[in-house]
A = this chain, B = another copy of it.
């Protein structure tokens, strides 16, 4: 592999001069510049970024720590991150890790010396594992809020989104509204539940804990929760699932039992995954701008990096948007025409 020394020798100059030319630093005569560029090109010299970052102590790389995510969420959040990172000349070092304390610490250790900062997504409610990290590199926490005030965080506007959806159901006349809760100890799940309760309270509806069913974000959980709802003596007229997968599971159960949606039972989800609009009936949901989530996380991180992490800690949230479709009673059929945005482009 050809190094800067080889180029210097070939061009009969010192390595310093080569470095100066290639980085545009320091004064070099036009002739020498031309010569060095020519030689470097001819020898197919490519600078060794590892060596460079050792001396400059800048890696131009951001670490990304994600739990084991599926589908849309994963790809969209990465897309958002990569867009913003690339715009600023950064790369992404991605690692899927168990979101527990050990996993995160191991991953961050492994990243020391190869990243300038880390975006870590840890949906666990008490993600304070990140508080006393072994390093002092900037960290942005995604989808949960750290207890201390050591690091920045970015979350989804879960509570407000859920509240709006439940309020929408109430406005359509529903009084007994069940919720299928998300995974236990999950921050998003807890916040969505909070939003549900808030909406009920605002409408003066008493909370009925038998209407709060356990779930874990899987389709199967939504399916069995819906079956449970159908068996209730004073049956709810609406079900709000803490995510779309569970809402889809619930739709399956209802269809199987011959319960009409939305006439006999309204169903709403959260996330607005691409599948939602293809359901029968199309599923009302709370849209989460996942791509933006990634983009803003990186923005936050880059700010922490350039400001040497000595700014006041930030707590930001990305806002959600209600998407009402037929499953909660919207009249217009929203399927049938190709959608404007979510075309599955590119390869296969």
Contacts and interface: CB of A to CB of B under 8 A. Distances in A.
17 contacts: A46-B112, A47-B112, A49-B113, A50-B50, A51-B113, A70-B345, A71-B75, A71-B274, A73-B344, A74-B75, A74-B78, A74-B79, A78-B78, A78-B94, A86-B96, A183-B346, A252-B335
Contacts of A121: 347
Interface of A: 1, 44, 46-54, 59, 61, 67-75, 78-79, 82, 86, 91-96, 109-114, 121, 123, 134-136, 143, 156, 182-183, 186, 188, 216-220, 222-223, 243-245, 248-249, 252, 255-256, 270-271, 273-275, 278-280, 288, 335-339, 342-348
A7 to B, nearest CB: 13
A219 B338 contact: yes
Contacts of A96: 79, 82, 86
A74 to B, nearest CB: 4
Contacts of A249: 338
Contacts of A278: 248, 275, 278-279
Total copies of this chain within the assembly: 2
Contact of A95 (B72, B91, B112, B248): B91
A258 to B, nearest CB: 11
Given A69-B75, A70-B345, A156-B348, A339 B219 contact: yes
Contacts of A61: 93, 114
A72 B69 contact: no
Given A70-B346, A74-B79, A91-B95, 20 more contacts: A1-B135, A47-B113, A48-B112, A49-B110, A49-B113, A68-B345, A69-B347, A82-B94, A91-B94, A91-B114, A93-B93, A186-B347, A217-B345, A218-B344, A219-B338, A243-B348, A252-B336, A252-B338, A256-B336, A275-B278
Given A94-B78, A112-B49, A346 B252 contact: no
B113 A114 contact: no
A249 B68 CA distance: 31
A49 B112 CA distance: 6
Which of A71, A79, A256 has its CB near the most chain B CB atoms (within 10 A)?
Answer: A71
Contact of A343 (B86, B143, B220, B255): B220
A229 to B, nearest CB: 16
A245 B136 CA distance: 45
A216 B343 CA distance: 11
Contacts of A86: 95-96
